[in-house]
Amino acid sequence: MAVSRMFDEKPIWSKNSLTERLLDKGLSFSHGMFRRLLSRIAYYFSSGPFQRFWIKKGYDPRKDPGSRIYQRIDYRVPVPLRSFCDTYSADKLKHKWGDICAFRAFPYKFQTSLQFVELIDDYIQSEINKPPMQDTCTFESGWFSLNKINCLRQRLMVRYLSIFPKPGAESLLRVAASKFEKLKRECNREAVKLCVEERQQANTGLEESEEPENVEDDDGEAAEANNSDEESEEELDLTGDTEMPLPSPSHPNISMTHLQELFGSFPSDEIDGDKAQENGSEEEYHIYEEDSDNYSEE
């Protein structure tokens, strides 16, 4: 079926574009028949960034960032120029859809729904084919930021006002061009900011992946320090437990007073033990402070 093959070409179509493509193939359907054919192979959303566009069944554009090029963008004719649209509609003149998308013809309706991928404009095509700046499809702006959507919409305004077929759009064009340049600068700043944030997150992730090795080394040093303290304490305990030989009757020159002085010259086990524990606790606290500083920087 010709209609089904169209959705093999691309998964999302606007009704105007699909109708014109079928006419180019020599196919024409009544409104009711065309709708029934579409309902068998496609569906549409009543709102959102793909509003009223026919979407191939089984394909969900909200889950595919690549669908951003098929999003809808509306062009609204400025109020001062709508009298031209009224006259144009009264004359029942109609441009080809391809000419409107290529900016060779001014849209005669107050509001025209266009599809990004069909617009023949270098800036628009460059922007929609850049990697998406967000990983979710929002109801308001789809896969693009709201700033980007506003910028692209303003680009449409500039392009269509530049081909307005009657005098009177010059001042509107100057204002639109100025606004477009401002929005474009805002989008560039937004892109730079996002790039910086991504680099910071990448650096943070790298630090986090390296940190366990440092912590392990610190823990190893702490363990060695604790083992050293324990060995010192054991040596002190052994020293304290060592008994001095008591004088035998064969050594009458060594008095008990002199022996007491000798015992008093050795450091107390309890005092040295407290000092060792105190030193160990200070070293452990110092390591904890280093870890604390690292976490606060992240």
Q: Where are the domains of the chain?
A: 2-168, 203-297
136 DSSP 8-state letter: S
* Contact (CB, 8 A) for 117 and 106: no
Average the pLDDT over 82-96 and give the result.
Answer: 75
Percent of the chain residues topping a pLDDT of 90? 53
More confident residue, 91 or 281: 91
Instruction: Quick: pLDDT tens for 66-75.
Output: 999 999 999 9
pLDDT value for 211: 58
pLDDT per residue as tens digits for the range 283-296:
443 333 334 444 44
Question: In the prediction, which pLDDT does 287 show?
Answer: 32
Over the chain, what is the mean pLDDT? 79
- Provide the H-helix boundaries in the chain: 2-9, 15-24, 31-41, 82-90, 97-101, 122-128, 146-161, 170-241, 256-265, 269-297
> What confidence tens digit (pLDDT) does each residue in 193-240 have?
888 887 888 777 676 666 555 555 555 555 555 555 555 444 444 444
Question: Would you state the pLDDT for residue 295?
Answer: 41
DSSP helix/strand/coil, 28: coil
In the chain, what percentage of residues exceed pLDDT 70? 67
